[in-house]
Amino acid sequence: MEKKVIEAAYGGLLHDIGKPYQRAKPRSDLNEEELYVTPMQKAGYHSHLHAGYTSRFMKENLGMYDAFESMVSLHHTSDQRELARQIIEADWIASTIDRNDEDYDLEERNVKGNFRQVRLSSIFEEVDFGKKKDAAYLELNKLEEMDYPVSQKCFKNPGKDEAVIEYQEFFNRFIDEVDQEDNQGINYLYKKVDRRAFSRMYSLLYQYMSSVPASTYEGGRTFVSLFDHLKLTSAIASCLAISKTPRFRMLEFDVSGIQKFIFKVTEGSRTKKYIAKSLRGRSFLVSLIAESITMAYLNEFGLTESNIIFNTGGGALLLLPDTEDFEDRVKKISRELVKALFERFHTDLTFVYASVSCDKKELETFKTEKAIELKSRLEIAKAHKFLDLMEDSETGENFFFEEAHQNQDCELCGSLVDKSG
């Protein structure tokens, strides 16, 4: 992974970490140095105060008194340094996708404090089940400790002072883990901008910021978590670091043959042993295969887990840079993966993929037409999923017929297995 890519990915992941820090304060206490990274408006007041708290966090908790901290914190200015421009553009695109409210982050709004009381709304109320659903909210909590959304009837909206205390306690728990050292006294986050530090911070943000709303100024209806916004900004920034231009590829793949592969253990007239264990094992294996395919694509382009838009367990949607050699690189790694699956599972399991190109505007809106186009291409790919294998000189010769020597039925699934192996 190139240094410029990990810096862009890590910078995008950290750029708005000052938001929960700001909400943990009853009023702004930024000093002159921290206010420097916030824009000064013509009326004489500062805006986007969370950027100052991002600067404070990176300095005090990560030990970053350097150019990297400066370019990350200055994401609401006109900083022309390369990394700063990448984070600024990535934040702009990501904010346009999920919300656009940061212009209201002003000093007078900070004094009023209402934005601290807003909690993340449950996305399920946006799903049309044929009847109106009541609003529901998520309480501030770690992901592993999170409970079901609380309905509006039962949810008690915190007062201003109570909201500050909630954020203080919650953010202090986060900082305690950021400052944590291992048994040898090493903190993998302190003064480090590398792949290991990124993965550590990514996991902490996933745990803590999945219940924190990304925006709180547009009122009490906010559905995007801070983690999702940081993750998306990180993905876009890393793509910009590679391609230099705001053009992207949405790549989706789907593992084919899952149901038949998993439930093959129940086929046949004989009663087979350990069926439940076999079902769980095969299901887990499929998820590992999907994860391996995902990481193969990310490794090919030198990207991080931020670029996984979603992972279903049997497929994934990835955001990749639209480079000149994109098609060749994707086809090469896909051939290798399909061949490896065929050698191990024959025609039981394989996968297909498709991609669409998006410019900056198309990514911001991700119009229905693009989503339909991507799905259509994926369905077409399923119609000739073994074409690459049949064209391959090594596997094509034996694709339709394979001699069986010293084989017997597997007692679990009934497949032929080679006793000599």
Q: In terms of pLDDT, which residue wins out, 266 or 251?
A: 251
In 3-state terms, what secondary structure has residue 223? coil
Tell me, what's the pLDDT at 406? 56
Instruction: Report residue 397 as tokens.
Output: 């010769």
| Segment among 33-42, 254-263, 311-320 with least mean pLDDT | 254-263
Secondary structure E strands in 277-347:
308-311, 315-321
Q: Phi and psi for 168 in degrees, rounded to 5?
A: -60, -50
For 130-186, how does the pLDDT look when each residue is reduced to its tens digit (9 = 90+)? 777 778 888 999 999 988 888 888 888 889 999 999 999 999 999 999 999 888 888
Give, in degrees to the nearest 5, the angle at Cα 196 between 195 and 202.
85
Q: Does 407 have pLDDT greater than 80? A: no
- The C-alpha atoms of residue 8 and residue 198 are separated, in whole angstroms, by 11
381 closest CA partner among 357, 358, 355 = 355
In 3-state terms, what secondary structure has residue 92? helix
- The C-alpha atoms of residue 408 and residue 177 are separated, in whole angstroms, by 53
- The C-alpha atoms of residue 210 and residue 227 are separated, in whole angstroms, by 5
pTM score of the predicted model: 0.87
Tell me, what's the pLDDT at 268? 53
Domain residue ranges in the chain: 3-117+159-235, 245-409
CATH value of 245-409 in 3.30.70.270, 3.40.1280.10, 1.10.443.10, 3.40.50.2300: 3.30.70.270
Average the pLDDT over 29-44 and give the result.
88
